[in-house]
Amino acid sequence: MKERKPLRSEMGWSKPDSITVRGYDLPNELLGKIDLGGMAFLEITGRKPNPREAEVFNALLVTLVEHGMTPQAIASRLISICSPEAMQASVAAGLCGVGSVFAGGSEQIARVLQTALDGKDAGADLQAIATEIVEDHARRKAPIPGIGHPLHKPIDPRTPVLFAIAEKNGYRGRYVALLEAISATAEKKLNRTLPINATGAIGAILCELGFPWRICRGVAIIGRAIGLVGHIAEEIRNPIAYEIYERAEHEVMVNATEKP
Amino acid sequence: MKERKPLRSEMGWSKPDSITVRGYDLPNELLGKIDLGGMAFLEITGRKPNPREAEVFNALLVTLVEHGMTPQAIASRLISICSPEAMQASVAAGLCGVGSVFAGGSEQIARVLQTALDGKDAGADLQAIATEIVEDHARRKAPIPGIGHPLHKPIDPRTPVLFAIAEKNGYRGRYVALLEAISATAEKKLNRTLPINATGAIGAILCELGFPWRICRGVAIIGRAIGLVGHIAEEIRNPIAYEIYERAEHEVMVNATEKP
Amino acid sequence: MKERKPLRSEMGWSKPDSITVRGYDLPNELLGKIDLGGMAFLEITGRKPNPREAEVFNALLVTLVEHGMTPQAIASRLISICSPEAMQASVAAGLCGVGSVFAGGSEQIARVLQTALDGKDAGADLQAIATEIVEDHARRKAPIPGIGHPLHKPIDPRTPVLFAIAEKNGYRGRYVALLEAISATAEKKLNRTLPINATGAIGAILCELGFPWRICRGVAIIGRAIGLVGHIAEEIRNPIAYEIYERAEHEVMVNATEKP
Amino acid sequence: MKERKPLRSEMGWSKPDSITVRGYDLPNELLGKIDLGGMAFLEITGRKPNPREAEVFNALLVTLVEHGMTPQAIASRLISICSPEAMQASVAAGLCGVGSVFAGGSEQIARVLQTALDGKDAGADLQAIATEIVEDHARRKAPIPGIGHPLHKPIDPRTPVLFAIAEKNGYRGRYVALLEAISATAEKKLNRTLPINATGAIGAILCELGFPWRICRGVAIIGRAIGLVGHIAEEIRNPIAYEIYERAEHEVMVNATEKP
């Protein structure tokens, strides 16, 4: 038999009289002493945020909670009328949509920024790097993540606020600067309005906070999970999913069978 | 054709230059001005918590984030090695397990408490109500949710801390008192140690905060979503899911085929 | 340390030159020799169906594949436009809705029928049992699963066909007879048209086939998984989910902001 | 307001006395007249398979049902002990893992094969195309999907059987030939045993049946959904998930706290 690798984890464990989470005594060192955003930071990174990190990280998460009647929110509501006894399944259904199109952008731009600056020292020529990124995407006909927005023009109103919160706390550094250079370069090259959107701002600031790009999608997932619970709570108070379903079902039937 | 019901929602919407969430201007009234726990309260209830509510609600959520190597955490890790490109699917998989057995207790006890005190005035005889609840469950041979714990004995170390935070902020009221009476009555009747567990404390305090029982599971879902992202982040840094899988697969094969 | 229970499973395992599934040599005894419905029967029950069982079971499954533009189908389509790279997440999202309301009825009626006939011999008075079931549901103001349909009146056109297929193959027995008695008794008592619906017919026939009620929902899950893949395939060819989403989002925004 | 696109679908709809699925009268033209594999073909492609297509497609699906104690199966079992009241959530959890690593290979190789032969006529030089594919993957250091297997060596025992079933029915054509050329070329170039695995054989045969690569993953999803229901049914009869969970939780706790 193959030798077995021991199972190790630093997340948490319990004994009869104690509960340890990320190295802290949960009841005595965390409850009442850390807010949820800080706890999420601790849970993901393994260390408590300092107050400046906590302020920035909370702002990023708050941005991600509620984006209106998204496809994910509608999906969660539809599932909640099918399985009202299993709210977790409704939230899970909507969360399945935190993928590449509607919410994955933070991960994508963080990957671009981290790959570009990996191993580069403080004196790196950000404009040259931005130009290379824009031209590489143009060559591959790939959209650049984190810039442009179908609705919010000429700017995404969340972006300057997030950057201001980051700056105030000392987390507006070269990742943000590189993304600004990318946005400006792309606007010039493509002759279009391509402002940094909230997803881009969040991705860049997560880089400033030291989050590896591979876990950035997790931050969107956390925000949206809260938002989906909110939508299901509203669906319980004021149902609309059944109406959305009936309209679609009826229209499909009419369009299929009442052809002249 | 049936008359159609208009679709209404108070969650949020966007215009080119503004984003409204639960009636607030997201960039200018929420970002940097509310923490994630407060945002979750706003998202679910439609109003900002006052500082006392925010402290209590954050403590409840923080309690729910990390419970160690639970079945849900293992499931999320296993799915993350199958679909590493779709972190949302891994979190969704684990969330599907926030059901009746490992996390649904807050909803269940909140339902018991709210049903029992519905329409009762301040002078209600809590001991009589508790006795009735305990006897009703005994008659139906149903376990009483929110009390007893397989590991944490004689008390769950989270419970007194959560009750102290609630008390300090003015949210230790008759729902908590009723649950305490239930616990004491059940211990006497069944001659067993049945302390209020964290799930029970959370359910009772959510009643104090005015949460309808039907949405209490949502609070557990939020906490666990954060925890599952944390587990997947650790799985990326230090994988163990493949080992758990291989051990199980190997043992099943050996036990099935190497019979004497 | 607690003594560990050995992990045993009869599902399947592999060796370098062989693959065993439910005790059969997959390549040589199953591939090309069993159809998918028969394979599903084998996978769930552990034995190959005889030809009569296979015909009946395939008919039940075929009934469950496609129910039009259901909430689950819409949810799967919505998620597929969010995470087009993760089709499994779209199907999983829709499957989360195979719960109590739209698809759980087979399980519920199978439970009623199996509980009622458990330990009863062939001479049991089905009419008396049916009366008791109808009166018990009336007392609890609970709807009787498996009878009545919002659209299909006076009969569900699938029911007589399924019963005929069952009868032809020798699987129209006392579970079907009891459900017929329940339907007739309920119609008389409640003075309403309450025909056996397809869900009820499927539940009763699954009892005839010997399926424990606890796994009957699995049969609906299998059928719907196929249907959801079909809907996603159509969504790829001819997208409508984006339109459903945009209409809802737009209407919510208009109704919220353009109040007089 | 933007002009709305009409919602159209050919999947199915109901009227009080009829149910139409993919253009057929479900009760009278499908029930008892098509098996589940054929129904899946109809549901996905919009037309009934001929008997030869039905035999081949059923064989592909049967191959995909049961792969032993996979990570997905363990995940479904773990969730089923958390949410026993919501079997659909357990299946959904496991399905979330039908991603790139354990089950996505059919889609990947179908994409490679279809892209390579797109627009090529019958006289295309398959060996030259195969060489190009192998060299392209080597250049990008990307593994070639559909060939090689960690356990099944020197051949995957399913592959010759699937190819024989395809051949017998007239569906062993140039996609299969191209994959065989790829396998042989890669073995020579990399000096390793790289037989066509079952996933590769399924992908190539789906190409022969005319399935676009974008929906090939759906075939794996269907097979696995059946398999996961089977695992949950066994978990109900003979539970092992709790044991898997307890072992992992215990070992993590011991390794974390009993350091010397």
Proportion of chain A above pLDDT 70, given as a percent: 98
Show the CA angle centred on residue A242, arms to residues A237 and A244, nearest 5°. Answer: 110
Q: Which two tokens stand for residue D255?
A: 């390794």
Query: What are the chain A neighbours of D96 within 8 Å (beta carbons)?
Result: 96
- More confident site: A102 or D77: D77
**CB D255 to CB A13 under 8 A?**
no
Question: Taking Cα atoms as reference points, which of C138, C222, C115 lies closest to residue D64?
Answer: C222
Tokens 């567990």 belong to residue: B197
Contact criterion met (CB below 8 Å) for D94 and C89: no
Question: Taking Cα atoms as reference points, which of B106, B101, B70, B12 lies closest to residue B230?
Answer: B70
Residue ranges in chain A modelled with pLDDT below 50: none
pLDDT band at B157; cut points 50, 70, 90: very high
Query: What are the chain C neighbours of B96 within 8 Å (beta carbons)?
Result: 96
Q: What pLDDT, on the 0 to 100 scale, is given for residue A254?
A: 93
Tell me how far CA of residue B172 lies from CA of A26, B59, B204, D201, in angstroms: 21, 14, 9, 64
Q: What pLDDT, on the 0 to 100 scale, is given for residue D257?
A: 85
Q: What pLDDT, on the 0 to 100 scale, is given for residue B260?
A: 53
Q: How many CB atoms lie within 10 A of CB C212?
A: 15
CA atoms within 13 A on the CB side of A131: 4
Chain B within 8 Å of A81 (Cβ-Cβ)?
A: no
**CB C255 to CB B6 under 8 A?**
yes
Q: Give how far A90 is from chain D: nearest CA, Å.
A: 9
**CB A17 to CB B227 under 8 A?**
no
Instruction: Give me the residues paired with residue A25 across strands.
Output: A20
Query: What are the chain C neighbours of A244 within 8 Å (beta carbons)?
Result: 74, 244, 248
Q: What is the mean pLDDT of chain D?
A: 95
**CB C230 to CB D55 under 8 A?**
no
Which of C63, C87, C244 has the CB atom closest to D217's CB atom? C87
* Mutation target among D8, D9, D90, D247 for the A interface, most CBs of A within 10 A: D9
pLDDT surpassing 80 at residue B2: no
**CB A58 to CB B35 under 8 A?**
yes
Contact criterion met (CB below 8 Å) for C146 and C114: no
Task: Determine the Cα–Cα distance for residues D127 and C27; give it in Å rounded to an integer.
Answer: 29
Q: What pLDDT, on the 0 to 100 scale, is given for residue A260?
A: 53
Tokens 């018991």 belong to residue: B112
Query: What are the chain C neighbours of D196 within 8 Å (beta carbons)?
Result: none
Q: Which residue of C has its CA nearest to A92?
A: C93
Q: What pLDDT, on the 0 to 100 scale, is given for residue A4?
A: 86
pLDDT band at B118; cut points 50, 70, 90: very high
Task: Determine the Cα–Cα distance for residues A182 and A176; give it in Å rounded to an integer.
Answer: 10
Task: Determine the Cα–Cα distance for residues A200 and A98; give it in Å rounded to an integer.
Answer: 16
Question: What is chain C written as a DSSP string?
Answer: -PPPPPP---SEEEETTEEEETTEEIIIIITTTS-HHHHHHHHHHSSPPPHHHHHHHHHHHHHHH--SS-HHHHHHHHHHHH-TT-HHHHHHHHHTT-STTTTTHHHHHHHHHHHHHTT--TT--HHHHHHHHHHHHHHTTPPPTTB--SSS-S--THHHHHHHHHHHTT---HHHHHHHHHHHHHHHHHTS---B-HHHHHHHHHHHTT--GGGHHHHHHHHHHHHHHHHHHHHHHS--HHHHHHHHHHHHHHHHH---
pLDDT in tens, chain C (260 residues): 567 899 999 999 999 899 999 999 999 999 999 999 999 999 999 999 999 999 999 999 999 999 999 999 999 999 999 999 999 999 999 999 999 888 778 999 999 999 999 999 888 999 999 999 999 999 999 999 999 988 888 899 999 999 999 999 999 999 999 999 999 999 999 999 999 999 999 999 999 999 999 999 999 999 999 999 999 999 999 999 999 999 999 999 999 987 65
Which of B86, B93, B103 has the CB atom closest to D93's CB atom? B93
Tell me how far CA of residue B136 lies from CA of B112, B139, D197, in angstroms: 11, 5, 59
Which of A8, A248, A255 has the CB atom closest to D256's CB atom? A8
Sheet holding A12-15, edge to edge: A12-15, A18-21, A24-25
* Tens-place pLDDT, residues D147-199: 998 888 889 999 999 999 999 999 999 999 999 999 999 999 999 999 999 99
Q: Which two tokens stand for residue C112?
A: 């009623």
3-state secondary structure of A239: coil
What backbone phi and psi angles, to 5 degrees, belong to D18?
-150, 155
C residues 98-157 closer than 8 Å to D (CB): 98-99, 103, 151-153, 157
Rounded to two decimals, the ipTM of the complex is 0.96
Which of A96, A248, A252 has the CB atom closest to C92's CB atom? A96
Task: Determine the Cα–Cα distance for residues A184 and A71; give it in Å rounded to an integer.
Answer: 31
Handedness of CA A176, A180, A186, A192 (dihedral sign): positive
* Mutation target among B156, B206, B226 for the A interface, most CBs of A within 10 A: B226
**CB A93 to CB C98 under 8 A?**
no
Chain A within 8 Å of B81 (Cβ-Cβ)?
A: no
User: Is residue A155 left, alpha or beta, with left meaning phi > 0 and alpha meaning psi from -120 to 50?
Assistant: beta
Q: What pLDDT, on the 0 to 100 scale, is given for residue A259?
A: 62
Amino acid in position D243: E
* Tens-place pLDDT, residues B63-76: 999 999 999 999 99
Q: Give how far A160 is from chain B: nearest CA, Å.
A: 9
pLDDT surpassing 70 at residue D2: no
Q: What is the crossing angle of helices A105-117 and A126-139, to 10°?
A: 130
Task: Determine the Cα–Cα distance for residues C2 and D247; give it in Å rounded to an integer.
Answer: 10
3-state secondary structure of D196: strand
pTM of the model: 0.96
Using CB atoms, list chains with 3+ pairs below 8 Å to chain D: A, B, C
DSSP-derived pairing of the beta strands D12-15 and A12-15: unpaired
DSSP category for residue A245: H
pLDDT band at B102; cut points 50, 70, 90: confident
3-state secondary structure of A32: coil
Q: What is the mean pLDDT of chain B?
A: 95
Proportion of chain C above pLDDT 70, given as a percent: 98
Chain B within 8 Å of D239 (Cβ-Cβ)?
A: no
Q: Which two tokens stand for residue A9?
A: 């984890």
Classify burial at D255, counting beta carbons within 10 Å of its beta carbon; exposed 0-12, middle 13-18, buried 19 or more: middle
What backbone phi and psi angles, to 5 degrees, belong to B147?
-130, 150
What backbone phi and psi angles, to 5 degrees, belong to C15?
-125, 170
Task: Determine the Cα–Cα distance for residues B39 and B48; give it in Å rounded to an integer.
Answer: 7
Chain A within 8 Å of B5 (Cβ-Cβ)?
A: yes
Chain A within 8 Å of C90 (Cβ-Cβ)?
A: yes
Amino acid in position D86: A
Question: Taking Cα atoms as reference points, which of A234, A201, A235, A233 lies closest to residue A220?
Answer: A201
Sheet holding B24-25, edge to edge: B12-15, B18-21, B24-25
Question: What is D119-131 written as a DSSP string?
Answer: T--TT--HHHHHH
Tell me how far CA of residue C134 lies from CA of B238, C116, C144, C147, D72, in angstroms: 57, 12, 7, 11, 41
Tell me how far CA of residue D215 lies from CA of C232, D55, D194, D206, D222, in angstroms: 8, 19, 26, 10, 11
3-state secondary structure of B10: coil
